[in-house]
Amino acid sequence: MLRLLNILVALLIATPAIAQQTPRWMTLPPTPSLPPPPVSGTAEVNGAAIWYAMYGSGLPVVLLHGGLANSNYWGNQVPVLAQNYQVIVIDSRGHGRSTRSAAPYGYELMASDVLGVMDKLNLQKAAIVGWSDGAIIGLSLAMNHPDRVARLFAFAANSDPSGVKDVDKSPVFTEFIKRGEAEYEALSPTPKGYKQFVEEISAMWAKQPNWTKADLAKIKVPTWIVDGDHDEAIHRANTELMADTIPNAGLLIQPEVSHFSMLQAPDQFTADVVRFLQRQW
Ordered strands of the 59-64 beta sheet: 39-45, 48-55, 85-90, 59-64, 126-131, 149-155, 223-228, 250-254
Element (H, E) at 215: helix 213-216
Per-residue tens of pLDDT for the chain, all 281 residues: 445 445 434 433 444 444 469 999 999 999 999 999 999 999 999 999 999 999 999 999 999 999 999 999 999 999 999 999 999 999 999 999 999 999 999 999 999 999 999 999 999 999 999 999 999 999 999 999 999 999 999 999 999 999 999 999 899 999 999 999 999 999 999 999 999 999 999 999 999 999 999 999 999 999 999 999 999 999 999 999 999 999 999 999 999 999 999 999 999 999 999 999 999 98
Q: Which of 188, 179, 250, 256 is nearest to 219 (CA)?
A: 250
3-state DSSP call for residue 213? helix
**CA 180 from centroid of its chain's CA atoms:** 14
Backbone angles phi, psi at 30, to 5 degrees: -55, 145
Please answer whether residues 160 and 166 qualify as being in contact, where contact means their C-beta atoms are separated by less than 8 angstroms: no
Angle at 40 between CA 268 and CA 198, to 5 degrees: 70
Can you say whether the dihedral through the CA atoms of 24, 26, 27, 31 is positive or negative? positive
Q: Measured between alpha carbons, how far is 219 from 161 in angstroms, rounded to an integer? A: 20
DSSP state of 37: P
Q: CATH code for 38-278?
A: 3.40.50.1820
